[in-house]
Chain A
Amino acid sequence: MAVVEAIDLKRTYRTSTGTLRRKWKDVEAVRGVSFGIEKGELFGLLGPNGAGKTTTIKMLITLLIPTAGTARVLGYDVVKDAREVRKRIGYVFGGERGVYERLSGWDNLRYFAELYGVPPDQQKERIESLLELVGLKGREQERTEGYSRGMKQRLHVARGLLHDPPVIFLDEPTIGLDPVGARELRGTIASLVEAGKTVLLTTHYMFEADALCDRIAVINKGEIVAHGTPGDLKRGVAEGAVVEVEVFGLPDGTVERVRELGGVRSVSVEEREQAQVLIVQTGADVELTHAILGRLNGANVGRISRREPTLEDAYVALVSSEE
């Protein structure tokens, strides 16, 4: 039996526009998402902003009730047995919010240790070991209002692990962390999986998903558009190639013009200081560099390169093919 099961989960939000004459509109944030996570697995949920990742996680951790579909964690229904689910899961949300700023890091952890039923005689030891784990040892008596974004983020991680839960949900946990802090946290996540925990991770960083996840589901506009191991996803675009063209002042409409070329699978643009990099995924046997340059309307071009696709390219291809 899967530890985490989502079966055709749907979630609709009702939003309104206007002040006096309100018009109501239903927005489908998650449109029939299904997946299962086995014990001890690290499962990645990838998708652009607004794809439905956080909504999915919030349904699984009982903060939102699904509009349709069911979800179970360790066999407990997230709607009917919410309290049983809560006892057995830990979750970490990215960002700075969610801590009591007027309390110290230690007090924050003590309060939540009590809420999560950590036995009183074990709380001190548990909190100390978690402070050590997340690198906040020595700063625990300071009020969290003085913590940096990264420190608050690490406090979130410690809080999520207080009751040693068998299932952990991590929603973009490395967001806001400096590169060293993010690498350390990835190490911590890997050690959790080694210790037998089941983890659901959402992230924007492809290399993070590639390095950590056993399986990945790519979610876009509320639907899972692909899932498999990182290798499976890469293989989906492996027979292709990626052409990167550095352009100084990309003319309007270039993306659309390049997309019209035969053999082009996806086109995206990345900002890099003064330049924009046009990233074009093509089929394996086509050479489109000249054709792409011909569609730039004479813009200044810098470096041009052709390379093998990465997991990030696989993700971009999946997400942009849905647009």
Chain B
Amino acid sequence: MRTLRLLAVGWYFQFKAILRSPFEGLFQVIYPLFFATVAFLMFRAGTDQKTLLYASLGAAVMGMWSATSTTAAGAMQRERWHGTLEALVASPPHFSLILLPITLAMSTVGVYCLVATLLFGRFLFGIDLTFEHPLLFVLSIVGTVISFGALGFLFAVTFVRFRAAWALGNLFEYPVWLIGGFLVPLVLLPDWVRPISWALAPTWGMNAIRESSLGGTPLPDLAICLALGAAYLTIGILVLERVLTAARKRAALSLT
């Protein structure tokens, strides 16, 4: 109970802090507009409404991923700049219980990006938003948010130790758009890329969201997405203690 409360309160305050950032605020306005436009322009040749929804969903998850990957990358850097990283590390809970709400707060911001992209598509380009399984669609989004948060957590663990790792987060933004099959179906990618796609939770989250919207069986995809999220979390937690000890040994916590 105490752990859940800690996670919830941590999420709430971190979410509040992110929402008040003008930089991230601007991101959230521009990204949905940009992604919805790109998706529409790419797929407007298709007259089928389902194709347009397919593209629109891809664009929405693109926004969600961008919001998570770029902000997770900057999150630890921001904690360093503000001098709060030391304050967090010096507090008693296991650091994973402090870090996870930070990255979950970021992927929650991604939900806004997802909804906004879909709405932009609806109102600017008239894309029909009819979902085959609305309840499964919502579940798929929740599952995807959680697994994005878990992947952000794994990133953030690295950022605690390596100051320059935030750049890596930005680097991951674009390849995952492709490898995750957000806009282009995975079958069109070279064979050697597929194992990488399968190891990424965003691929399965994307599948689950599409299957639930366009008709299909989203639950297996959702299960794999969550299982991968759990795997990222487990690896992150196992590595975190070692990473923190290394940072305390090398006096890397207070460096900006």
Contact = CB atoms under 8 A, between A and B. Distances in A.
Interface string B84-108: 1011111111100010000000000
A71 to B, nearest CB: 13
- The size bracket of the interface on A is 20 to 34
B13 interface: yes
Given A63-B248, A64-B248, A116 B87 contact: no
Contacts of B83: 93, 95, 97-99
A241 B83 CA distance: 44
B253 interface: yes
B13 A103 contact: yes
A58 to B, nearest CB: 8
4 closest cross-chain pairs (CB), A and B: A97-B83, A98-B83, A115-B91, A102-B20
A107 B13 contact: yes
Given A98-B83, A100-B84, A102-B17, A115 B93 contact: yes
Given A86-B91, A115-B93, A120-B5, 6 more contacts: A87-B92, A91-B90, A112-B91, A117-B2, A143-B20, A159-B87
B84 A99 contact: yes
Nearest to A91: B90
Contacts of A14: 250
Nearest to B86: A63
Contacts, number: 79
A205 interface: no
Contacts of B6: 114-115
Contacts of A97: 82-84
Contacts of B13: 100, 103, 107, 110-111
Given A98-B84, A101-B82, A114-B6, A63 B17 contact: no
B92 A114 contact: no
A86 B17 contact: no
B218 interface: no
A62 interface: yes
B10 to A, nearest CB: 7
B176 to A, nearest CB: 28
15 contacts: A61-B90, A63-B254, A83-B92, A86-B92, A87-B92, A97-B83, A97-B84, A98-B86, A99-B83, A101-B82, A111-B13, A114-B9, A115-B92, A115-B93, A115-B98
A65 B92 CA distance: 16
A155 B97 CA distance: 24
A207 interface: no
Contacts of B248: 62-65
Contact of B21 (A99, A102, A111, A159): A102
Nearest to B9: A114
Given A114-B5, A116-B92, A117-B92, A100 B249 contact: no
Interface string B70-86: 00000000000011101
Given A63-B248, A65-B245, A100 B17 contact: yes
A107 B13 CA distance: 7
Nearest to B248: A65
A55 to B, nearest CB: 8
B45 interface: no
A249 B225 CA distance: 74
B187 interface: no
Contacts of B188: none
B21 A115 contact: no
Contacts of B253: 63
A86 B249 CA distance: 17
A111 B92 contact: no
Interface string A40-77: 00000000000000000010011111000000000000
Contacts of B5: 114, 120
Given A63-B89, A65-B248, A116-B91, A111 B82 contact: no
B44 interface: no
B10 A114 contact: yes
- Looking at B2, B5, B17, B91, which has the most chain A CB atoms within 10 Å of its CB? B91
Contact of B249 (A65, A110, A111): A65
B251 A112 contact: no
A95 B84 CA distance: 12
A112 B10 CA distance: 9
Nearest to A163: B92
Contacts of A111: 9-10, 13
A95 B93 CA distance: 25
Of the listed residues A102, A103, A116, A143, the one surrounded by the most CB atoms of chain B closer than 10 A to its CB is: A102
Interface string A2-21: 00000000000110000000
B194 interface: no
B16 interface: yes
